[in-house]
Chain A
Amino acid sequence: MSNYGSRCSRLRPFLFLAASVLPFAASADDLLLMLSGDEQLVSLATGTPQPVSKAPAVASVITAEDIKATGATSLSEVLESVPGLHVSRNGFLWQPIYAIRGIATQFNPEVLVMINGIPTTNGFYGNRGQQIGGFPLDHVSRIEVIRGPGSALHGAEAVSGVINIVTKTASEIDGTESGLRAGSFHTYDGWIQHDSRLGEVDVAAYLRLGHTDGFGGTIQADAQSALDSAYGTNASHAPGPMNLGSDSIDARLDLSYNKWRFRTGYIGRPGLEAGTGVADALDPAARSNAHYANADLTWHDAKFSQNWAVTAQASYYDIAETNSEITLFPAGSVLPVPLSGGTGSTVGLVGRPQHWERQERLNVSGLYGGFDKHKLRVGAGYNVDDLYKTTETKNFTFVGTTPMCVNLDCSMVTATEANGLLFLAPHRRRSYYAYAQDEWGFAPDWTLTAGMRHDRYSDFGGTTNPRLAVVWDTAYNLTTKLMFGRAFRAPSFVELYTLNNPVSLGNPDLKPETMDSTELAFAWQVQPKLRTGINLFRYRMKDVIRFVANADPTTGSTTQNAGNQHGNGLELEFTWDASADLRLLGNYAYQRSIDENTNQDAGLAPHHRAYLRTDWRLVPGWLLSGQVNYVADRKRQAGDTRPQIADYTTADLTLRTDRRHQNYELAFSVRNLFDVDAREPTSGAAAVNIPYDLPLPGRSVYLELRYRL
């Protein structure tokens, strides 16, 4: 009886519907679109950023259509749409800081960025390069973002998150496509991409050239301003614009034949300006010249044997980060440069550190499906990271922590290991690893994913990182996940081996940083057209690498595994296809992170962030996309007595033709529509040197034309 009652109550909606439904017949055109299987035709762009409900991780996918809809032109712009991820800035070279779930550090090595599954990590700072500038998106097929630890599968640096940029294959390019973009700050871009078939080989090629003067937001005061006050000089370029100009060359080639694939890419950044300067003193003359070249040969056999799919890959990455003379402090500054028999110098503090690095990676992985209800993934690899050349010319050295000229006329000298002036000697690091992960459907609707990876490095030893995830398909429209993971970050060459810079001496005894993270996630499809996600997380980082004052403070500070940090928070997200012509999506993220050394807020990252985007096909053939980004409650770090940095809300608008079968597309974007004064916080020494934080671009406009031959 009770069964019958419950059955009737479940079917009550039918009775209601029987009395209320109206006839509905899709038009032939709608039906044709719907059955095409192409969501981009059915609605507006694919789900962005959508919870990928069954993956044993909290993941978002940003598609090429999303990128176009929002008018984003660089990786940093588009990542701001991901819940729990805020893109802040490091003033030096204007490097992006991908602050995920409250973990925000100057060089941001806690985030692993990959291109086509291959890490872009430079051993030098442990991040993806100092001088890479913006990463263009026209050749990107999709961007996968996993928040939380990923070392059990991906190894080092996958601590707070993993970002995988997947470039377009030949099948995703329609003949020859080209584009031109021009906009504020003398920004110009031109690109061309092409697919073809040479015999049995599929070819995808891409070339882009770009230039920008940069928006040049004003820095009211810099490190030299303070020195000018102390010494009565007028050397500082502040108040003055940040130096954010850059030229860029990007090229990619993708050849695939049968089970083989060869890819190569080049990122050239000639003429990248120094942002706020290497020593937080504006340096308008400095120019960087960097290149990043990669190649990989991949062999994949989905049917290697009855139950095995096997992939083998060899890859190579070559990095050169060079520059013209960098002025740490400008000419005219009176620095405490006590020369023997001299007075002092006003030529400024000049240096030119450069480094070259190459990486070789070999790996093989297999997916085994021969066990009932199990999917086993195993892999092993060998990496060589060779910082094979470092050079430096400079006019200064340190006595204690005080800089002074190397010679009487304060002229430039070549730093070498022999004369004890070189900032960092070449080093070569080898590592190998092995991992195994099993996905076990241990009961109906329940899947347990358990994995472990061991990495062994030639310089600092071994580290083992497990992962455990239970995914429960709770109901037809609800998935629940409980996940635990441990991750690690390898100490960088700079952190291990820096010489001759007493404020940041390296320490070869460093251990890796580690993080344990626990997540509870729900993916709930409220209605067929309304998807939501809720994620709760907590984490604890141990052995965080920081600079610690030496026992004798006059000798400077050295890197130590001295920090611990914990945090927790939540993320809410939704995507609603309100109609065939209107999509709304948004997210809200909260986090609170505590630096255990001070027991105070870790600072910098926003406690609250909200994002809302609307894609609206307002008339046939035109798509209007608006997005609003709210960044709030960013605490200062312990010891930083400045008032809390102001919250901000920015709005962007993009109008684009939406005519997929015409040869041209036109787009017009306005970013920071209301010209809001938005700023990102300075931290560490920069908190003192650049007290008024880093301004973000004001209102800017861009016009884009794409043409398909």
Chain B
Amino acid sequence: MFHARRLAISAVLALSLVSLACAARAETRISVLYPESSAAVLGLYQTIVGGMALAGDVRLQSRSVSERDTPDDIKAWADANHSQATIALGNLSPAVTDSLAAAMPVIHGASALNDNDQPGVSLASSPAQMFSRLRLVRPEVERVFVVYKPQSTGWLIGAARSAARQHGLELVASASEDVQQASAAFARILQQTRPGKDAIWLTLDPVVPLNQLLPILLRESWNRHLVLFSNNPMDVARGALFALYPDYAAMGRQLAERAKRQVARPSLNGPEASEGLKSAFNTRTASHLGVVLNDTQLQAFDRVFPEMPQ
């Protein structure tokens, strides 16, 4: 009887030790790097890093990288942490990330990732969620126009094509090599749009010179009853119908999950779009387009413009 009890206790202890060992083995050690920046930007990086901790089974070490830090310094720091992967936020020097990439997967985040081959999570919002929201607020839309540079956001448009099919939308993507071509592409798009049936999607692709184009697109979308939707909530404040934009804590978690997958499958390549999103909606533009949302639908948006005191 005594032996049986001791045996049982020993078995429980052994099982616990095995589980702990397994848990320790499953934990992925991740180094997180971000460039030295203004306090406001550092605060956002910290939000992203805070989100990474929400992913299970990760051990995080994070630090900022200044211009004085050499690639060897950073490499030595990551090695000292026994890092299995590095998450590089923002615009870090390629010299730093390249030296790490030789030793471990480097996952990029907190930037637009305008590179089809760069592994990471982009600030670009999930096309599937974009189209789903478009369907919700404006079911009559049949076509979505987008202008992009294949070398920059080909990966996003590829994902968008299948998402569009799933949502019964026709995606008309105009490839442009430079901003002049992109502007000409928008001029052509506007000539073929149909009121109420078409939408224009503003991505983060730098080939679209939004600083100059946005006023024209806002005006023409208003006059032609087109839906203009965007990745940027500030565009909604200025008159776009809605935007989906990254929730930075959720983005951090997605980055950590991606890092874990990247460790398991180093061959994974290319960026993925942000899946944890916030949303903004413009009631004035909606009213003009005849878009009517009930209170529940409206409350689903994180920001509603224009903001009114009464």
Contacts and interface: CB of A to CB of B under 8 A. Distances in A.
Nearest to A143: B309
A10 B264 CA distance: 54
Given A25-B206, A659-B39, A61 B309 contact: yes
Nearest to A377: B310
B267 interface: no
Contact of A53 (B178, B181, B290, B306): B306
Contact of B215 (A18, A29, A33, A527): A527
A14 B216 contact: yes
Interface stretch (B17-25, B166-174, B277-285): B277-285
A29 B41 contact: yes
B214 A528 contact: yes
Interface string B205-216: 010010111111
Contact of A445 (B221, B234, B287, B308): B287
Interface stretch (A37-45, A80-88, A281-289, A503-511): A37-45
Nearest to B235: A528
Given A14-B186, A21-B183, A476-B219, A661 B40 contact: yes
Nearest to B221: A476
Nearest to B211: A24
A309 B295 contact: yes
A65 interface: no
Contacts of A33: 40-41, 44
A10 B222 contact: no
Contacts of B105: none
Contacts, number: 171
Given A15-B187, A31-B204, A475 B222 contact: yes
Interface residues on chain B, size class? 35 or more
A342 to B, nearest CB: 62
B290 to A, nearest CB: 6
Given A144-B310, A475-B219, A476-B239, A18 B180 contact: yes
A302 B298 CA distance: 12
B191 A39 contact: no
B40 A41 contact: yes
A662 B38 CA distance: 11
Contacts of A476: 218-219, 221-223, 239, 285, 288
Contacts of B111: 28, 31-32
A256 interface: no
Given A52-B308, A662-B39, A35 B287 contact: no
B237 to A, nearest CB: 7
B261 interface: no
Contact of A52 (B215, B287, B307): B307
A473 B310 contact: no
The B interface is mostly helix, strand or loop, or mixed, namely helix
Contact of A37 (B112, B238, B278): B278
Contacts of A42: 234
B161 interface: no
Contacts of A35: 123, 231-233, 245-246
Contacts of A659: 39
A373 B111 CA distance: 41
Contacts of B287: 441, 444-445, 447, 473
Nearest to A145: B309
B238 A525 contact: yes
B110 A17 contact: no
The residue among A25, A146, A164, A309 with the most chain B CB atoms within 10 A of its own CB is A25
Q: Which of A19, A28, A54 has the most chain B CB within a 10 Å cutoff?
A: A28
Given A444-B288, A662-B39, A14 B308 contact: no
Nearest to A60: B309
B290 A21 contact: no
Given A15-B187, A29-B90, A146-B310, A23 B179 contact: yes
B238 A34 contact: no
A39 B219 CA distance: 23
A657 B280 CA distance: 30
A36 interface: yes
Interface in B261-310: 278, 280, 283-285, 287-288, 290, 292, 294-296, 299, 302-303, 306-310
B44 A164 contact: no
A709 interface: no
Contacts of B76: none
B245 A23 contact: no
A369 interface: yes
A481 B295 CA distance: 25
B306 A23 contact: no
Nearest to B205: A25
Size category of the A interface is: 35 or more
B228 to A, nearest CB: 10
Nearest to A446: B287
Interface string B103-143: 00000001110000000000100000000000000000000
Interface in B211-260: 211-216, 218-223, 231-234, 237-239, 245-246, 248
Nearest to A53: B306
Given A17-B183, A35-B233, A37-B233, A369 B206 contact: no
A34 B234 contact: yes
B37 A24 contact: no
B184 interface: yes
Nearest to A525: B238
B65 interface: no
B101 interface: no
A475 to B, nearest CB: 7
A153 B184 contact: no
Interface in A648-683: 659-662
A127 to B, nearest CB: 22
A29 B90 CA distance: 7
Contacts of B211: 24
Interface string A211-239: 00000000000000000000000000000
A37 B280 contact: yes
Given A31-B112, A33-B40, A37-B245, A302 B299 contact: yes
B43 to A, nearest CB: 4
A10 B310 contact: no
Given A42-B234, A52-B308, A302 B245 contact: no
Contacts of A31: 111-112, 123, 204
Contacts of A660: 39-40, 43
A27 B111 CA distance: 8
B67 to A, nearest CB: 14
A37 B46 CA distance: 16
Contacts of B35: 29
Contact of A59 (B183, B209, B309): B309
29 contacts: A13-B216, A14-B184, A14-B190, A22-B179, A23-B178, A24-B206, A25-B206, A28-B112, A29-B35, A31-B204, A32-B90, A32-B111, A35-B231, A35-B233, A35-B246, A36-B248, A37-B233, A55-B310, A146-B310, A164-B309, A303-B295, A372-B292, A444-B288, A475-B222, A476-B223, A528-B215, A659-B39, A661-B39, A661-B42
What 3 A-B pairs come out closest when comparing CB atoms?
A476-B222, A14-B187, A661-B43
Interface of A: 7, 10-11, 13-15, 17-19, 21-29, 31-37, 39, 41-42, 52-55, 57, 59, 61, 144, 146, 153, 164, 302-303, 309, 369, 372-373, 441, 444-445, 447, 473, 475-477, 479, 525, 527-528, 620-621, 659-662
Given A11-B220, A476-B285, 4 more contacts: A28-B91, A35-B232, A476-B288, A661-B40
